[in-house]
Structure 1
Amino acid sequence: MRNKITNAISDFFFEYETPRQVLVRNRRVGVVCRLIQLGVLAYIIGWVFIYEKGYQSTDTAVSSVFTKMKGVGYTNVEGVEKVWDVADYVFPPQGDASFVVMTNYIITEGQSLGKCPELPGKHNCTSNTDCEGGSFKRTGHGSMTGICDNTTKTCEVLAWCPVEDDHHIPEPPLLMSAENYTLFIKNSVTFPIFGVTRSNLVEGIDAHYISKCLYHPEKSPLCPIFKMGDIISLSGFNFETIAKVGGAIGIVVDWTCNFDLDVRHCKPKYNFHGLYGNPDEKDKARASVGYNFRFARHYFEDKVQKRTLLKVFGIRLDIIVQSLARKFDVIPTLTAIGSGVGIFGVATVVCDLVLLYLLPKRQFYKNMKFKYTDTHGQPDNDSFDLEPNNYYGLEAKAEHVQDTGRYNEPDSEAGSTETETHK
């Protein structure tokens, strides 16, 4: 028993096991194997390393965006002239990454709290019984008083009077001058894993350059100042159409950087996407087109609170920062190589299936690949009552005798060839 344990421990530490291999000379199987291996190699080199850059680690940026609009607009509505500056047409005015530039509006001036009839079509009536006092209608302007106005044949409401009439949208848009407004974008990004901070005001963009430049995708791709008309056209929309009813534009600042190169090569790219608001060109869902909201300016006149209500149609600008930085790293490189080596095993599996189950001589190949033994009739060293050293000596002699006659035996595995057996 002690000798068995000693031998087992000795075999565990001082013996090496290797899989048995069979060399098969078959053109079809050989071609299939090499084609699969070539495909795996192309996948590893072309896709994993070149396209996906599997030898690099990645990081996304923490970003901050600051915006500033400039430009002056002018309107003349029914002889009333008005000049619009940034404080009038940008909502909200804080310089956020998402804001609205007003391009059209419907104004209702001098509203005060009182009782007045609804607009035709909002809540028509023929008698007071059609107007339930104290109730509200979702599309109405106020609380119904229970009275039907005989002139308009609509219910009277307690609301800001006169009520807003927004059935007719001005055309052409009142603030077509918005096409010449300019937008300044200041963006900073930090890649915390790599410890790199960059700004879209990259090398060469100073105060003198900014005072003269205007973004152009080919001539000035790094200029951070954009003309509104260019933003709309680059997003695929028509300015007059989107200015009438409003819409949304996405400005994407793309930071895709390879830090294996110099940091100065890490520069932003700007892309423009029309999100919604151009019914004649891209927006096929006609149920709700454009973008609008209401804004009121309150004031007192003769100690009576009044307000000027504006229904604002505008272009919503959303500045979106997307980023991906890469840099060489040993761990993902070894992981990619290891997974690629493992995929090479697919060739062996496929070829074994072809060899053992599809070819006409599959039984012959099975005999070559698998060695069958029957242990029930095999004596062990205990049955002969031999010492371990004597047992291994006899085993070595037996192997020597087998080796000397191996090539003379017609059924030996080392000398086997593909032959046809005729019965």
Structure 2
Amino acid sequence: MMSQISNALSDFFFEYETPRQVLVRNRRVGVVCRLIQLGVLAYIIGWVFIYEKGYQSTDTAVSSVFTKMKGVGYTNIEGRERVWDVADYVFPPQGDSSFVVMTNYIITEGQKMGKCPELQGKHNCSSHADCEGGSFKRTGHGQMTGVCLNATKTCEVLAWCPVEDDVKIPDPPMLMSAVNYTLFIKNSVTFPLFGVSRSNLVENIDNAYISKCLYDPTDAPLCPIFRLGDIVKLSGFKFETIARVGGAIGIVVDWTCNLDVDVKHCIPKYTFHGLYGNAAETDQARASVGYNFRYAKHYLEDKEQKRTLLKVFGIRFDIIVQSLARKFDIIPTLTAIGSGVGIFGVATVVCDLVLLYLLPKREFYKNMKFKYTDSHVQDPDSEACSTETEVCKVRDLYISITLKPICLVFRTADVLFICYSCRSDVGATF
């Protein structure tokens, strides 16, 4: 028992098994095999390593953004001059990564709480029965009192009076001067996996440079100061169109960095996209084009509460930071190589299918590739041979002979030599 266990362990630790291979000289199969292997090699080198950078590990950044607007606007409405500064036209004023710059507005001044007629087209009526007291309409300005006013043929409402008339949007926009406003973006990113921190105020960008630079995709691609007119133009829109009814523009700060080279080459790239529609479409082609909201300033006049209501049309800016850093790592490199080597097996599978099922000599190739055995138990003294190198066992004697197709056998009991052909129809004994 111990001897059997010892032999089993010895066979397990000190023997190596390798699959039998058949060399097939066939031009078509050889060409197919090499083409598949060439394609796999091109995929591994071209796609996995060069394009996808399969030899590098990746990380995304933790980012922070703050902004600052500068510029002054001027309006003159019916002889009433007004200067608009940053505190008036930026919402919210905290310098967030998402904010609105007012470019047009409708102002309703001196509103106070009371009863007044609704606008034409909102609550039209012909009798008091058409104005249900205490009810509201979604598009109305207040609560109906149940009275139909003959002068306007509209329902009377309890609301901030006079009600806002926003039917006619000013054209041209009231604050066309916004085209020359400037936006300063300060952005910092950190790649925690690699311990790298960067800012869009990269090397050679100091106070002297910032005080005079203006972003240009060709001449000044790293300047963090942007003119609003240039942003709108680079996003594909006309400033006059988007300023009238408002819109939304995304400013993308792209940090795609290869940290295998000097970190100073890790710099941002800025792109601009219109977010509310297609620049080629007209206002009639889409529903609810533009961006607007209402903003009220409350005050007391003769101890009576009043307010100034503004319907603000503006450009909403969303600053979007996207990041991806790469650096060499041995683990993804070995993983990519291992998967590539495994894909090479596709060539063997395809060629085997061609050999065994498509070629005219498929039965011959099948006999060469597979060795068939009978299920019955052979006599211990019987000899089995093949067309290649065979090992013939006669009791305790093993002889390995590479003669083809003859296998030479020694019988030790009666010292008889047997020359037996591996073909079943040929044999001789002497």
TM-score relative to the length of structure 1: 0.91
Describe the shift of the 1:36–1:395 C-alpha distance in structure 2 as closer, same or farther (beyond 3 A).
farther
How far is the alpha carbon of 1:13 from its aligned partner? 1.4
| Partner SS for 1:66 | strand
How far is the alpha carbon of 1:367 from its aligned partner? 0.2
2:193 equivalent to 1:193: yes
Describe the shift of the 1:282–1:410 C-alpha distance in structure 2 as closer, same or farther (beyond 3 A).
farther
The C-alpha deviation readout for 1:354-382, integer Å capped at 9, x for no partner, is: 0100001000000000011124222469x
Aligned equivalents of 1:149, 1:411: Cα separation in 2: 118
Describe the shift of the 1:115–1:53 C-alpha distance in structure 2 as closer, same or farther (beyond 3 A).
same
Describe the shift of the 1:402–1:25 C-alpha distance in structure 2 as closer, same or farther (beyond 3 A).
closer
Aligned equivalents of 1:160, 1:28: Cα separation in 2: 88
Aligned to 2:365: 365
Aligned to 1:319: 319
How far is the alpha carbon of 1:345 from its aligned partner? 0.3
What is the one-letter code of the residue matched to 1:232?
A: V
Structure with a larger share of its residues in helix:
1
What is the one-letter code of the residue matched to 1:162?
A: P
Aligned to 1:301: 301
Aligned to 2:385: none
What is the one-letter code of the residue matched to 1:273?
A: H
Aligned to 1:405: 406
Aligned to 1:416: none
Aligned equivalents of 1:401, 1:18: Cα separation in 2: 19
Aligned equivalents of 2:368, 2:279: Cα separation in 1: 73
Q: After the TM superposition, which of the residue ranges 12-21 and 274-283 deviates more from structure 2?
A: 274-283
Task: Percent identity, please.
Answer: 80
What is the one-letter code of the residue matched to 1:5?
A: I
The C-alpha deviation readout for 1:45-73, integer Å capped at 9, x for no partner, is: 00000000000000000000010000000
Structure 2 residues not aligned, in runs of 5+:
382-391, 409-419, 425-430
Aligned to 2:207: 207
What is the one-letter code of the residue matched to 1:397?
A: Y
The C-alpha deviation readout for 1:170-219, integer Å capped at 9, x for no partner, is: 00000000000000000000000000000000000000000000000000
2:107 and 2:311 in contact (8 A); partners too: yes
2:19 equivalent to 1:12: no
Aligned equivalents of 1:163, 1:282: Cα separation in 2: 30
Aligned to 1:388: none
Aligned equivalents of 2:64, 2:309: Cα separation in 1: 34
Aligned equivalents of 2:422, 2:238: Cα separation in 1: 87
TM-score relative to the length of structure 2: 0.90
> Number of paired residues?
403
Describe the shift of the 1:300–1:366 C-alpha distance in structure 2 as closer, same or farther (beyond 3 A).
same
Structure 1 residues not aligned, in runs of 5+:
382-390, 413-423
Describe the shift of the 1:284–1:369 C-alpha distance in structure 2 as closer, same or farther (beyond 3 A).
farther
1:146 and 1:156 in contact (8 A); partners too: yes
Aligned to 1:73: 73
Aligned to 1:143: 143
What is the one-letter code of the residue matched to 1:312?
A: V
RMSD: 2.1
| Partner SS for 2:45 | helix
How far is the alpha carbon of 1:392 from its aligned partner? 6.6
What is the one-letter code of the residue matched to 1:297?
A: K
Where do residues 230-249 of structure 1 align in structure 2 (5 Å cutoff)?
Answer: 230-249=230-249
Aligned to 2:42: 42
Where do residues 232-271 of structure 1 align in structure 2 (5 Å cutoff)?
Answer: 232-271=232-271
What is the one-letter code of the residue matched to 1:342?
A: G
